[in-house]
Structure 1
Amino acid sequence: MAPTQDDYDTPWKDAVTRYFPAFMAFFFPQAHRQIDWRRPHDFLDQELAQLARDGELGKRLADRLVRVYTHDGGQRWVLIHLEVQGRRERAFAERIFSYHYRTYDRFRRPVASLVLLTDDSPRWRPHRFCYQLFGCQIQLDFSVVKLSDYAPRIEQLLRQSNPFGLVAAAHLLTRQTRGDAARRHAAKWRLTRLLYARDWDKQRIIDLYVLIDWVMRLPPELELVLWRDIQTLEREQAMRYVSSVERIGMEKGREEGLREGRQEGRQEGRQEGRQEGRQEGRQEGRSELLALLIETRFGSVPPAIRARLAAADTGELDAWARKLFSATSLDEVFGGA
């Protein structure tokens, strides 16, 4: 089976955006208690992008800048700069400091820098930036949570009522099963059954399954097995959440791609045919998954968009998928198509 390339940043960004209060309660409970959740919170995406451009800090997919209100009547509102960091970065602490002071300079409001480290380097725990010169000292201590610290407690995560227990478990299990497709399939199927067993509304179950599905990628053959099991589960429990027309179409596309690959393999070599079949099936699968995400966010998919999805290559599909999670309209994803 061909190896899969794991994508961690996109699911985290989407999860934080959709369920920010739950995220804060799970990873930063002290800050969560100080926020007045009766008042709305706002994601300042454009402002953060401008700060990054002004400081030549680069585009950071998992960065979020959030305006919240506190219980302290002395402050009208404050800002949270949140970073989900999935890999080691030499100048990471300096970058957090740069975002922090640029945010304060832009808004003149108190700023809290909060960091979730999702990398697999146990000893890498940046939490401070400081320097001193001629009797002057600058220091920023920022709050850090290391996701790998939860690894010994995966069973506890799976019992959490907070949805980020499952999200964190999915991330950790994805890292633990890297290179072992059979174990990952078993872990993904278990998470799926646990998700269906929760007393959550339909939309939350769909949202969280999409996140789990995105991060826990499987080879096409095992995806087919998983989706058949999901369809059986939904029939047994008389519920229909993630098994949909789009998913059935994706499954058929993968099967057809594999069949075509096998036929070509008889003529030009079995190995080459299998690889091409997997590639075609995987690409059609991505197209149908993106159609499902679009329908979940914006309703029915226009025929013109479906045509573009069907004709797109892998790079285009990945680019549209990244835009989709922060877009407010289809025009933002497809450029006014």
Structure 2
Amino acid sequence: MKIRRRNFRKQSEAENFWPSFTDIISTIALVLFFLMLLAYIQNIISGKNLEFAEQQVIDTQRRLEQANVEISQAEDNLRLIEDRLEEVKAEVEAGEIALQLSEEQIEEQREIIAESNRELGDLRTRLESVAVLRLDVLERVKTSIETELGSATSEGDPLVSIAANGNIIINEGLVFDYNSATVKREGIELLDQLAIAFERVLDDRSTRNNIDAISIQGHTDNTGSAEYNRDLSTRRATSVVNHMMNANPNLERKYADFFAATGYSEFRPIASNRTASGRSQNRRIEISIILKDDQVQNIIETYLEDSMDIFE
């Protein structure tokens, strides 16, 4: 009975060994299969990753090329900006130089203007002195008459007056009757004194040298025709000149060439002809001192010569 048991154990032990080996082999084969499957899957995944990586590299290269193009354009723009900046700097420098020159020229112009203003002031003073000379002659004549005869008639009318235009005005009614060119008795003394006054004035050489003519002007109102008034005003002016020359032979002998008679008819009124008072004022003898043009011309030419020196 005991021998049988030992044989049975040996047989059972042999049977249990082979299934275990088979299981091991199966397990190994299964592991190898999974490893191969895993390697295959990994290879597939790696291939896709490689394609993705290659695409990324290509995209990166494209972006890099685009970036390089943009960088090149930016560098070109930067060079253009730098060139423009240099041009602007040059323009600013040129503008600063031009501004400095302009300021210098403005200062020069100011000096020229200031000098011209001084010259103009001097010219004005000289011309005013000539104008004052004219008024001075008339004032001296007026004063001489008023010293000898008084300043007004018994009716209160002025013997002589100086008008706004600088001429001596003699009320015609003091010298002539209405519509007459004959000096009346009341006007003889006035014209006699006028002849003496003009001789005294013309005896002054400095004054005489600046006078070209002494114009005795006849004026009428608008009563009657212009032709008649022209003749009447001329005859009255001539009567005044003739009377002064006859009253003072020295005046005619020395200075007759200074005197001229002119008739202006009704065309230079100093008041309205619509009223009796206005017409009375318009009937008048007016005495004008005409200065030599060459005196004024010499003053102007001297000024112009001095002015041109400034610009040279």
When normalised by structure 1's length, the TM-score is 0.24
Structure whose alpha-carbon radius of gyration is higher: 2
Question: RCO higher in 1 or 2 (8 Å CA, sep ≥ 6)?
Answer: 2
Relative to its length, the structure with more helix (as a share) is 2
